[in-house]
């Protein structure tokens, strides 16, 4: 993996915290030069210094919902490092509310970041990847992009959309030397849950033991180094994905039991 990433130029969106920050550091450890993109410029600058300065990392404060910001990320990456080899579309927002209690403005923002942000960033890097005749786009979806989850309706919808977009884009780019990976992590211990839209205070999922952001990040680097169409990290996620496809009624009953048990754990917490 070290050899596969040495000298590569990697853009990571949502790089100011969580999986994005961990992925940026993991790519840097693997020998890549990293372009860090997020809205929090101060955090990005600190992370760029930690990674190793201008020869190793470039911080670009940007909002992926703005196409012009994504174009600027791609332009600055090319100017600084000469090419773009990997895009990790990681920026995302979640929520923990009933659909009819979720404000329209919050729902719109989730869709804009989680779907349009992915499309904007992909559109920005594609001309350069096509010119190179190479590149990898890793779109971060989720296990809940395979099966709907209570209290996460809009987030789930956005991750279903990322999976569909990834599949379509993979077909379109098949002859251009560009790989598209749909990456589906499960429950990961990050700031994501504290930042999610919730009407009931801080969201503390009561699910099984989470993966660490560092562990997920290492798998993202591996997916970029050796692309395959889809990566589902957890056994639970793989079973749900297979079950909902082949045994939808049984899987729905099992999922309801699991989500009800998780809700009870959350209330107890």
Q: Is 187 a catalytic residue?
A: no
**Which secondary structure element, helix H or strand E, spans residue 257, and what is its range?**
helix 248-268
Are the CB atoms for 88 and 138 separated by under 8 Å?
yes
Highest mean pLDDT among 34-48, 222-236, 246-260: 34-48
Is 91 in contact with 26 (CB distance < 8 Å)? no
**Overall average pLDDT of the 225-239 stretch:** 81
Q: Decide: residue 78, CB within 10 A, 0-12 exposed, 13-18 middle, 19+ buried.
A: middle
Question: 8 with 32: CB under 8 angstroms?
Answer: yes
pLDDT digits (tens, 9 = 90+) for 182-195: 999 977 655 554 45
H or E element, residue 99:
none
pLDDT digits (tens, 9 = 90+) for 158-216: 999 999 999 999 999 999 999 999 999 977 655 554 454 454 544 444 445 778 889 99
Question: What is the C-alpha to C-alpha distance for residues 66 and 73, in angstroms, rounded to an integer?
Answer: 11
Q: Which helix (H) or strand (E) holds 176?
A: none
Specify whether the CB–CB gap between 205 and 110 falls below 8 A. Answer: no
Question: Under CATH, which architecture does the 2-235 domain have?
Answer: 3-Layer(aba) Sandwich (3.40)
pTM of the model: 0.87
Chain mean pLDDT for the chain: 86
Indicate the pLDDT class of residue 257, thresholds 50, 70 and 90. low
Query: Cα–chain-centroid distance for residue 78?
Result: 22
The rounded percent of the chain whose pLDDT value lies above 70 is: 78
Please, are residues 125 and 135 in contact by the beta-carbon 8 Å criterion?
yes
Q: What's the mean pLDDT in 81-99?
A: 94
Catalytic residue among 9, 122, 138, 155: 155
- Our separate counts of H helices and E strands in the chain read 11, 11
Contact 141, 162 (CB under 8 A): yes
């Amino acid at each position: 993996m070290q050899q596969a990433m040495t000298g590569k130029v990697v853009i990571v969106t949502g790089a100011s915290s969580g999986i994005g920050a961990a992925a940026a550091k993991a790519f840097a450890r693997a020998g890549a030069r990293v372009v860090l993109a997020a809205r929090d410029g101060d955090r990005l600058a600190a992370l760029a210094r930690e990674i190793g300065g201008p020869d190793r990392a470039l911080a670009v404060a940007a909002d992926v919902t703005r196409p012009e910001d994504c174009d600027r990320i791609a332009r600055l990456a090319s100017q600084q490092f000469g090419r773009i080899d990997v895009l990790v579309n990681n920026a995302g927002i979640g929520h923990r509310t009933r659909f009819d209690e979720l404000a329209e403005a919050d729902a719109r923002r989730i869709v804009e970041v989680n779907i349009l942000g992915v499309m904007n960033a992909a559109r920005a890097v594609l001309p350069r990847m096509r010119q190179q005749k190479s590149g990898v786009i890793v779109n971060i979806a989720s296990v809940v992009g395979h099966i709907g989850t209570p209290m996460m309706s809009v987030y789930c919808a956005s991750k279903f959309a990322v999976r569909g977009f990834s599949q379509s884009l993979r077909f379109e780019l098949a002859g251009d030397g560009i790989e598209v990976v749909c990456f589906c992590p499960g429950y990961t211990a990050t700031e994501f849950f504290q930042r999610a839209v919730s009407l009931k205070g801080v969201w503390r999922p009561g699910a099984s033991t989470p993966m660490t952001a560092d562990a997920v990040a290492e798998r993202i680097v591996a997916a970029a180094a050796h692309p395959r169409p889809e990566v589902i990290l957890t056994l639970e996620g793989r079973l749900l994905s297979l079950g909902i496809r082949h045994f939808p009624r049984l899987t729905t009953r099992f999922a309801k039991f699991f989500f009800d048990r998780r809700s009870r754990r959350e209330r107890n917490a």
